[in-house]
Structure formats: structure tokens, C-alpha cells
Amino acid sequence: MEGIWMTAAFYLLAAIILGSALLVVLLKNIVHSVLWLAVCFVAMAGLFLTLDADFLAAVQVLVYAGAVCIMVVFGIMLIQRGDMGSTNLFNNQTKAAAGVVALVLAVCGYLAATTPWASPAAAVPENTVESIAEIMLSKYVIPFEVAAILLLVALVGAIFLAKEVKADARND
């Protein structure tokens, strides 16, 4: 997978990512949006492969395309039942939002284009999982543990928030 193939893969994946992302935003049916979100995430996993991040690509598929999308779909099902035809509309500050986005793009694009990036010093090692595990469990062990606790807290919090409130407690 060298040269022209890499280029082709990048453009193809980029087109899929941007196209599906646009569909996520533009579609009026929220369920369709989530579907295209999953497509976007999978394409992203492909993009990670082109960046020599195979472990990350696997995680992307597992967490995003698998867990997050399914969770969002469950969320939609808990809230909106019946007609999903126009559940995902724009509000009335679309133009202002477009302006801000244009500004952000202009600034980011300009910065990305004009910054003199350093050229790669070496190739990425083959075995990424081992390398990531090494720094994650040595130098970055504390953030790792914190992330674990964060997940636990998020789990408890989500349960608490989404739990049915008792009738007498709501009268306060």
C-alpha cells in the first residue's frame, strides 16, 4: 500500500467522511443521521489505518461505531416514538452559525496551510499496541486510572440521571 494507493485511499475515505458527516447534519430524520454517523465513524477507522494507527482503528470501530451509535439509537428510542420524519430540523440561527463556521474554517485552513510542519523523522513502528500499552501503563498510568474512574462516575451518573423519578419526590 504505497504511493498512489495511499493517496487514493485518503481521498476516498475523506470523501466518505465528509459526505456522511454532511448527511448527519443535513438529514431531517434523526435515525438516518445516526446511521450516517456510524458510516462516518467506520470511514474514520479506515483513515486511522492510513495513519499507521491500527489499534486506534479497532477502538474506533468498537467504541464509536459500535457502542456510541447504539447508545444514541437507544436514547432516541426512549424519547421519540412514532413518526421520525422531521425530528432533526434546523433552528433559526442557521445563518449566524454558518458565518461562525466559515470563520473557523478560514482561520484553521489558513493556519494549517501556512504552518511549516516538520518532516517525519522516522517511520512508525509496526507494533503499535505494544508501544501504546508501554507508555499508557508506565508514564501515563495516572491519566489512565483517572479515565477509568471517569468512566465509572459517568456510568453511575447516567444511571442516576436517567432513573425514573418517584411521584412524591417530584412534588417538591
Partner 1 sequence: MVEFAMHHAWLVPLLPALAFLAIVFFTRPWPMLSALVAVAGIVGSFIVSALAAYGVFTNPAFKEEPLVYAVRWFSMPGLQIDVGVQLDPVSAMMIFMVSMVASLIFIYAIGYMKGDPGFSVFFSYVSLFAASMLLLAISSNLLEMFVAWELVGLCSYLLIGFYSHKISAREAAKKAFITCRIADFGLLLGLLSLQIVFGTLNLVELSEKIAHFEQYTTLAVLSLIAVLVFIGPIGKSGQFPLHVWLPDAMEGPTPVSALIHAATMVVAGVYLVARTMFLFHEVPNAMELVAITGGFTALFAATIAVTQREIKRILAYSTVSQIGYMMLALGVGSMTASLFHMWTHAFFKALMFLGAGSVLHALHHKADVWEMGGLIKKMPITGWTFVIGGLAIAGIPPFAGFWSKDEILAMTLESGHYVLFVMAAFTAFLTAFYMWRLIFLTFFGDENPENHPHESPAVMTLPLIGLAILSTVGGLVGTPWAPYWSEWIFFGHPHHGEPNYWVMIGSIVLAAAGIYLAYQLYCVDKARAKVKALAERYNHIYTILYNKYYIDEIYLWFNHTIIDGAAKLFYLFDIYVVDGVIVNGLGALTCLFGEGLRVSNTGRLQNYALVFFLGVLAVVVLLAFTGPSAASLIVGGVK
Partner 2 sequence: MLATISLTHYMVLSALLFGIGLFGVLAKKNAIAVLICIELMLNAVNINLVAISKYITPTLFMGQLFAIFVITVAAAEVGVGLAIIIAIYRNRVSVNLDDFDWLKW
Residues that bind partner 1 (CB under 8 A): 91, 93, 96-97, 100, 103-104, 107, 111
d(CA 38, CA 46): 13
Report the partner that residue 66 touches, choosing among partner 2, partner 1, none (CB closer than 5 to 8 A by kind): none
Among 12, 67, 141, 145, binds partner 2 (CB under 8 A): 67
Asked if 7 interacts with partner 2 (CB under 8 A), we say: yes
Supply the DSSP string of 31-85, one letter for each residue: HHHHHHHHHHHHHHHHHHHHTT-HHHHHHIIIIIIIIIHHHHHHHHHHH--S--T
Backbone angles phi, psi at 49, to 5 degrees: -65, -40
Cell 485518503, residue located:
10
- CB under 8 A, 24+ apart: contacts of 104-111: none
Among 82, 83, 85, 123, binds partner 2 (CB under 8 A): 123
CB nearer partner 1, residue 97 or residue 155: 97
CB nearer partner 1, residue 94 or residue 138: 94
Q: Classify the C-alpha dihedral 72-78-79-80 as positive or negative.
A: positive
Of the candidates 117, 102, 40, the one whose C-alpha atom is nearest the C-alpha of residue 72 is: 40
Report the partner that residue 80 touches, choosing among partner 1, partner 2, none (CB closer than 5 to 8 A by kind): partner 2
CB nearer partner 2, residue 82 or residue 125: 125
Shortest reach from residue 110's CB to partner 1, in Å: 9
Strands (E) located in 117-171:
none
Binding marks (x or -) toward partner 2, 89..108, rule CB under 8 A?
A: xxxxxx-xxx-xxx-xx--x
Shortest reach from residue 111's CB to partner 1, in Å: 6
